[in-house]
Amino acid sequence: MASIQRRDLDTARDFGRHLNKTLLLQSINNDVATNDVLPILDVSERYELAQAKQVSISGIYNGISQVITQNPSSVFRPYGAFSSTETQTNASVAGINIATVNVSDLPDGVTVTSGSQFTANYSGVYNFQFSAQLAKDSANAKQAEIFFRKNGVNIPNSNTIVTVAGSSAQHVAAWNFFVPLASGEYVQLAWYSNESTMRLLAQTSGTNPARPTVPSLIATMTLV
């Protein structure tokens, strides 16, 4: 056992010298190409005739890419934050409306297509959260329904009915929903109301004192 451990120590020393030489050459050249190689030491071989091995930069890159594709949450968590600065009106009391955004605040691994399709670039379970400011012109209380769609199809058990009071009142609807998505699949936020003046209301910034604008919709989507 002592002779094996001695060989391991000599191998480790050789590995250290090899690594220092490699780092020195790379610092002088000041660049690294994809076909360059780096020395590595397999610690599982410490009780065997350990040998320093080499791996290319492209090999490392390909390995990391496979890990990210198969299990992105082990490396990072894709997310996206979006908002709308536009008031969104009720297009038809006989049909549904698809909420849209026009500002990408923090997109990283989640993108928006066609203004309304919150798209996952990596597979997994996502937490979709939103807040929408509802308003209307009629004096009587009216209802609006808000629900989720996946790939253009209504998601079962995702609907919620909210009531908006008088014509001068605003109502904020806000909650979240977990949905599994494969890469390239998307979620949409849909709403319906039989009140023709119902809308997702955006408001401009205020002054004296200065206040920020009020988006009609804020939406985020994060891999859980």
Please report, for the domain that includes residue 144, its CATH number: 2.60.120.40
Same structural domain for residues 94 and 200? yes
The model scores a pTM over 0.85 = no
Q: Which pLDDT score is estimated for 73?
A: 59
Q: Is the pLDDT of residue 167 over 90?
A: no
87 confidence band (pLDDT: 50, 70, 90): very high
Q: Is the pLDDT of residue 64 over 70?
A: no
Same structural domain for residues 109 and 59? no
Same structural domain for residues 124 and 103? yes
Sign of the alpha-carbon torsion through 104, 100, 185, 129: positive
Q: Is the pLDDT of residue 4 over 50?
A: no
Count of H helices and E strands in the chain?
Answer: 2, 16
Same structural domain for residues 117 and 208? yes
Q: Is the pLDDT of residue 105 over 60?
A: yes
189 confidence band (pLDDT: 50, 70, 90): very high
Please list the alpha-helical segments (H only) found in 30-88.
57-70
> What is the C-alpha separation between 132 and 86, in angstroms, rounded?
12
Q: Is the pLDDT of residue 32 over 60?
A: no
| Residue-number span of the structural domain to which 7 is assigned | 2-70
Same structural domain for residues 216 and 131? yes
Mean pLDDT of 55-73: 64
The tally of domains found in the chain comes to 2
Q: Return the closest-CA partner of residue 189 out of 122, 86, 118.
A: 118
